[in-house]
C-alpha cells in the first residue's frame, strides 16, 4: 500500500473516531442524564376545588407565599436573561426546561424516547396540553406541590378546600435534589456535577449538630397563617435567595484582616493577611453554576488615588470544556473552611497619605463571558453579574492598628481568633 493510501486511511480513521466521539459519546450539554430530570414532571390536572394550576390561583388564599414566590429566582427561572442567553447558546435544547419550566404542562413538546441517552436524538411530538403563559411561571407552585390531583405539603393535619396530603420529603433536603444535583455524563470529568450543590451539602456540623437542611437558609421559618383566615403555624418563606442575591452571599462569608506590624513606620515592610471563611453556608462557596467565582483584591494607593501595587487572587473552579470536560482545579471553600491571602508592601521613607484597599467580589460570570453573552446570544437586562461583598480601607501609618480595631466584630460560630492587630467582618451567620 502506498504512502498516500496510508495517509488517507489514517485521516478516515481519525475522522470516523471524531464523528463517533461527538455523536455517540460526548453529550451535547454539560451534564449527563439521570432518570428523574431526563423527563418533565408528568402532566398534572387541576385539583378539585381549584380553578387553575397557575400560581395566581394559589395566591388567592396563600397571598403572602405567592408574593414571596413572585420575588424569587424560581419564578423567573425560565425568563431569566442569563438562562435565555445560555439556552440560546445551547440551541434551545429541550432538556434544560426540565428544571427551568419543569411541568409537562409548561413544555411545547413531549419526549417519547431518548435513544441511547442522546439528548439530540430525542423523539419529540407536539404537546396538546402546552400552555405558553404557564411556561413563564417557571418553577411554579404545582412543580413541587401538585401530583395526581392532590396538593402535597409539610403538614399532617391540613384542612383545605382542595385535596391535601402530607409528604415527609418537604421536611428534608430531598425536595431540592432533582434540580440541584445535576450529574456528569460520559467524557465529563467533574469532581461534582456542574450544578452539584446538593452533593456538596455538609453532613456533620450543619446537618447533624445544627439540624439544618437546605430550607433552613433558603426558605427561612416563619410563624403566620399559611392561608387566609387559617390558624397561625410555623411554615417557611418561599424566597429561595441564593447565588444571585448579594445579601445571601454576604451572610455566608466572614472576613478577617491582620497586619504585621500593626503600627508601621515609614520604611517598614507591612505584611497583611486576609482570611476568607465559609462561615455560614452548608455547601462549598461559590456553588451552583461552575462559572461562578470569588476574587480577593489588594491595592495600595497614594493620596491622589494612583495605584502603586495591586494583587488579585481567584477562588472557584477551573474547567476545560473541549474536547472533553475536565475539571482541572477546584479551590472553593468547604463549609467552615478558611483560606489566607497574603499581601506585603514596603513603605517608602516618606509614606504620607498611603492606604491599602481590600476587597472581595463575587462573580456570576467573567467580564468576557458577559460581553460574549450580550454580543452573540442576546443577553438582555442590566442585572449585576458581580457583587462587592467586602470592602475596607486601611491607612498605612501608625493609625493602622486603630483602623483594624475599629472594624472588629464578633466572629461566626464561636471563633475567637482575632486580636488587637486584626479586623474581623462577619458578614454571615451560622
pLDDT 10s digits, 355-396: 999 999 999 999 999 999 999 999 987 778 999 999 999 999
pLDDT-derived band of residue 423, with 50, 70 and 90 as boundaries?
A: very low
Q: Per residue in 177-224, pLDDT tens?
A: 999 999 999 999 998 889 889 888 876 777 777 888 999 999 999 999
* CB contact at 8 A, 130 and 105: yes
Say if residue 119 is exposed, middle or buried (CB neighbours under 10 Å; 0-12, 13-18, 19+): buried
The per-residue pLDDT for 424 is: 44
Q: In Å, how far are 29, 144, 243, 402, 403 from 328, measured between CA atoms?
A: 19, 36, 23, 42, 40
pLDDT above 70 (res 417): no
Q: In Å, how far are 262, 352, 423 from 406, measured between CA atoms?
A: 13, 21, 7
pTM over 0.95: no
Q: Is residue 185 part of a domain?
A: no
Q: Per residue in 44-65, pLDDT tens?
A: 999 999 999 999 999 999 999 9
Q: Rounded to whole angstroms, how far apart are CA atoms 55 and 59?
A: 6
Q: Rounded to whole angstroms, how far apart are CA atoms 292 and 363?
A: 6
Q: Is residue 415 part of a domain?
A: yes
- Listed in sequence order, the residues at least 6 apart from 413 whose beta carbon sits closer than 8 Å to its beta carbon are 279, 336, 430
The per-residue pLDDT for 9 is: 80
Provide the 10 A C-beta neighbour count for residue 209. Answer: 8
Same domain, 54 and 102: yes
User: How many structural domains comprise the chain?
Assistant: 3
Same domain, 22 and 152: no
* CB contact at 8 A, 257 and 423: yes
Q: Is residue 311 part of a domain?
A: yes
Same domain, 133 and 276: no
Q: Rounded to whole angstroms, how far apart are CA atoms 116 and 354?
A: 64
The four Cα atoms 41, 43, 48, 52 give a dihedral, to 10 degrees, of 90
Provide the 10 A C-beta neighbour count for residue 316. Answer: 20
Same domain, 5 and 71: no
- Containing domain of residue 109, as a range? 33-172
Same domain, 56 and 143: yes
pLDDT-derived band of residue 422, with 50, 70 and 90 as boundaries?
A: very low
Taking Cα atoms as reference points, which of 279, 292, 286 lies closest to residue 200?
286
DSSP 67-125: HHHHTSSGGGTTT-HHHHHHHHHTTT-GGGHHHHS-BGGG-SEEEEE-GGG-GGG-EEE
**Cis omega before residue 403 (within 30°)?**
no
pLDDT-derived band of residue 262, with 50, 70 and 90 as boundaries?
A: very high
Same domain, 264 and 130: no
Which grid coordinates are listed for 383? 442585572
Same domain, 165 and 89: yes
Q: Is residue 239 part of a domain?
A: no
Same domain, 276 and 421: yes
Taking Cα atoms as reference points, which of 132, 19, 170, 31 lies closest to residue 90?
31
Q: Per residue in 241-259, pLDDT tens?
A: 999 999 999 999 999 999 9
Q: Is residue 203 part of a domain?
A: no
Helices (H), 233-283: 246-252
* CB contact at 8 A, 50 and 61: no
Taking Cα atoms as reference points, which of 230, 426, 213, 398 lies closest to residue 338?
426
Same domain, 20 and 136: no
pLDDT above 80 (res 427): no
Q: Is residue 196 part of a domain?
A: no
Q: Rounded to whole angstroms, how far apart are CA atoms 94 and 343?
A: 48
Scan for cell 401538585, then name that residue.
146
Q: Is residue 106 part of a domain?
A: yes
Domain ends where: 156, 172, 188? 172
pLDDT-derived band of residue 6, with 50, 70 and 90 as boundaries?
A: confident
Domain ends where: 111, 145, 172? 172
**Chain center to CA of 214:** 13
Same domain, 310 and 342: yes
Same domain, 24 and 91: no
pLDDT above 70 (res 33): yes
Query: Parallel, antiparallel, or unpaired: how do β-strands 164-166 and 150-153 relate?
Result: parallel
Q: What average pLDDT does range 59-73 have in this prediction?
A: 96
H or E segment to which residue 286 belongs: none
Same domain, 254 and 388: yes
Which grid coordinates are listed for 172? 428534608
Stated length of the chain: 430
Q: Is residue 178 part of a domain?
A: no
Per mean pLDDT, which of 18-22, 207-211, 322-326, 350-354 is the most reliable?
322-326
Question: Comparing 166-170, 211-215, 252-256, 275-279, which segment has the lowest mean pLDDT?
Answer: 211-215
The per-residue pLDDT for 261 is: 95
Provide the 10 A C-beta neighbour count for residue 201. Answer: 23
Amino acid at each position: 500500500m502506498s504512502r498516500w493510501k496510508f495517509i488517507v486511511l489514517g485521516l478516515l480513521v481519525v475522522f470516523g473516531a471524531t464523528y463517533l466521539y461527538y455523536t455517540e459519546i460526548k453529550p451535547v450539554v454539560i451534564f449527563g442524564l439521570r432518570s428523574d430530570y431526563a423527563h418533565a414532571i408528568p402532566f398534572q390536572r387541576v385539583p378539585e376545588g381549584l380553578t387553575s394550576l397557575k400560581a395566581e390561583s394559589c395566591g388567592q388564599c396563600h397571598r403572602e407565599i405567592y408574593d414571596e414566590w413572585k420575588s424569587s429566582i424560581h419564578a423567573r427561572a425560565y425568563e431569566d436573561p442569563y438562562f435565555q442567553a445560555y439556552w440560546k447558546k445551547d440551541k434551545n435544547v429541550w432538556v434544560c426546561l426540565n428544571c427551568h419550566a419543569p411541568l409537562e404542562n409548561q413544555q411545547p413538546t413531549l419526549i417519547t424516547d431518548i435513544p441511547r441517552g442522546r439528548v439530540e436524538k430525542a423523539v419529540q411530538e407536539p404537546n396538546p396540553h402546552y400552555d405558553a403563559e404557564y411556561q413563564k411561571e417557571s418553577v411554579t407552585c404545582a412543580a413541587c406541590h401538585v401530583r395526581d390531583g392532590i396538593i402535597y405539603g409539610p403538614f399532617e393535619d391540613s384542612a383545605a378546600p382542595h385535596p391535601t396530603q402530607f409528604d415527609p420529603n418537604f421536611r428534608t433536603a430531598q425536595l431540592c435534589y432533582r434540580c440541584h444535583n445535576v450529574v456528569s455524563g460520559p467524557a465529563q470529568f467533574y469532581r461534582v456535577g456542574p450544578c452539584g450543590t446538593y452533593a456538596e451539602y455538609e453532613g456533620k456540623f450543619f446537618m447533624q449538630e445544627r439540624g439544618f437542611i437546605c430550607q433552613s437558609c433558603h426558605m427561612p421559618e416563619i410563624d403566620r397563617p399559611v392561608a387566609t383566615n387559617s390558624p397561625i403555624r410555623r411554615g417557611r418563606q418561599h424566597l429561595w435567595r441564593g447565588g444571585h442575591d448579594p445579601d445571601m452571599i454576604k451572610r455566608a462569608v466572614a472576613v478577617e484582616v491582620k497586619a504585621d506590624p500593626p503600627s508601621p513606620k515609614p520604611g517598614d515592610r507591612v505584611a497583611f493577611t486576609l482570611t476568607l471563611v465559609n462561615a455560614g453556608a452548608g455547601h462549598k462557596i461559590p456553588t451552583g453554576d461552575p462559572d461562578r467565582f470569588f476574587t480577593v483584591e489588594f491595592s495600595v494607593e497614594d493620596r491622589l488615588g494612583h495605584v502603586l501595587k495591586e494583587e488579585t487572587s481567584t477562588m472557584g473552579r477551573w474547567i476545560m470544556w473541549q474536547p472533553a470536560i475536565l475539571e482541572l482545579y477546584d479551590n472553593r471553600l468547604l463549609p467552615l473552611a478558611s483560606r489566607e491571602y497574603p499581601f506585603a508592601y514596603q513603605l517608602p521613607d516618606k509614606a504620607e497619605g498611603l492606604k491599602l484597599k481590600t476587597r472581595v467580589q463575587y462573580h456570576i460570570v467573567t467580564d468576557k463571558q458577559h460581553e460574549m453573552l450580550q454580543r452573540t446570544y442576546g443577553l438582555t437586562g442590566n442585572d449585576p453579574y458581580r457583587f462587592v461583598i467586602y470592602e475596607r480601607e486601611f491607612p498605612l501609618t501608625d493609625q493602622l492598628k486603630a483602623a483594624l480595631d475599629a472594624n472588629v466584630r464578633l466572629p461566626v460560630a464561636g471563633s475567637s481568633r482575632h486580636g488587637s492587630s486584626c479586623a474581623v467582618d462577619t458578614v454571615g451567620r451560622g
